[in-house]
Amino acid sequence: MNTRTLAFVAGESSGDLLAGHVLRALHHRVPALSTVGIGGPRMQDAGFDAWWQSERLAVNGYADVLTRLPELLWMRRRLRQRLLADPPALFVGVDAPDFNLQLERRLREAGIPVAHLVSPSIWAWRRERIDLIRQAVDHMLCVFPFEPAIYADTGVKATYIGHPLAEVIPLDPDRETARLALGLPAQGHCLAVLPGSRRAEVKHLMAPFLEAAALLVKRGLMSQVVVPIAHPGLKPMVLQAASHHPDLPLQLVDGQSHQVMAACDLALVASGTATLECALYKRPMVIGYRLSALSYRLMSGRGYLPDVGLPNILAGERLVPELLQHECTPQALADAAGELLERPAVLQQLQDRFRDMHLSLRRDTAALAAQALLDMARP
């Protein structure tokens, strides 16, 4: 076993961001440490040797998985063979449970210690995964405070380490500075349109989000619309959707989603990590989501919680509107946004609740994770 090497597999942009912070903390403690596997640009900036890019793990719903399945299975098989041939001191799966858990089970059976960073959402749906987690994971590092209790009787060690975004995002975001950085007017109401980082998300959400934005501008509730494009591969899809709204006061931005959240007055946002980011930026939001008809039918009967948005789940109540599938229409999105904007007392209450949420999630996450991983990796 190579005691100087840790292997990581991080899925998508949020996993890459989290793992990047943890890698910096690891390399600060052990400069000679080698870290390899599947990761993205933030991990590579922290000294990671990426055999494949994490973007290749991005899928959205069952229909997308079916088309990508041969490639994903090939990648997992090749990675498993490579890691078994030269075992690392520790394997760390960062999110991406559909890809990681089966891989982790096989590696753990071969005697490689396994940590998993970011608990799968077994509290929301797919509770049957707990049996696989028990077989696959030695130590679950949890980013939400309610999660360790879920593992109390499973035999899986679970530790709350806080959420890394609560450290990265300032407690009091500066709207004026963010607008200046983006070249936006200091005055007027700005709408952030955040359709997700996956191709399927942009395909299903970009059109209704932009149509809702046009309605809000027409009603005089918004004077500027900004869309951060998560990565270059999505730009043609965004441009195509934007071409149907030539009169919309629209600005497209490459990346910089955090700047856009800081600059905006309200966001239309896809369900996922971006909803938590908006909450940490203390910005009101309307959550929308659409899947293919097949994916929605397969998933709709498996939910355990009434809400899908992370701010609502953490609060234990519906703080912000959620419009899913057939309810995610331009009219409904614009109406929900307009209702929020026209209720100043509700907006202030949201800001207060989001601040409390931010404080509850703020820990030295990277340091806590790095220490837990090094403790596991030591012979």
DSSP letters for 30-98 = -TT-EEEEEE-HHHHHTT-EEEEEGGGG---HHHHHHHHHHHHHHHHHHHHHHHHHS-EEEEEEES-HH
**Which residues neighbour 64 within 8 Å (Cβ) at sequence distance 6 or greater?**
198, 200, 292, 295
The average confidence (pLDDT) of the chain is 90
Which residue's entry shows tokens 């989603």? 257
3-state SS, residue 158: strand
Report the 10 Å Cβ neighbour count for 333. 25
Q: How many C-beta atoms surround the C-beta of residue 102 within 10 A?
A: 16
User: From residue 57, how far is each of 95, 197, 268, 270 by CA, in Å?
Assistant: 11, 12, 25, 19
91 C-beta neighbours (distance < 10 Å), count? 29
Q: List b or e across 189-215, with b for residues whose CB sees 16 or more CB atoms inside 10 angstroms.
A: bbbbbbbbbbbbbbbbbbbbbbbbbbb
Percent of the chain with pLDDT strictly greater than 90 = 72
Structure tokens at 145: 């405070």
Contact 350/284 with Cβ under 8 angstroms? yes
Question: How far is residue 38's CA from residue 290's CA, in Å, rounded to a whole number?
Answer: 28
How many Å apart are CA 343 and CA 347, to the nearest integer?
6
Residue-wise pLDDT for 24-81, tens only, equals: 999 999 999 999 999 999 999 999 999 998 877 776 554 556 677 888 899 999 999 9
pLDDT value for 126: 54
Q: Please list the ranges in the chain whose pLDDT falls under 70.
A: 1-3, 59-66, 122-128, 292-306, 379
Residue 146: the pLDDT is: 87
CB contact at 8 A, 22 and 15: no
Tokens representing 66 are 């079916």
Bridge partners (DSSP) listed for residue 288: 270, 323
DSSP per residue, 269-323:
EESSHHHHHHHHTT--EEEEE---HHHHHHHHTTB-SS--SHHHHHHTS--S-EE
Res 59: pLDDT: 62
pTM score = 0.79
Q: Quote the tokens at residue 260.
A: 């856009």
pLDDT digits (tens, 9 = 90+) for 197-249: 888 899 999 999 999 999 999 999 999 999 999 888 899 999 999 999 999 99
CA atoms lying within 13 Å on the CB side of residue 171: 10
Per-residue model confidence (pLDDT) at position 143: 93
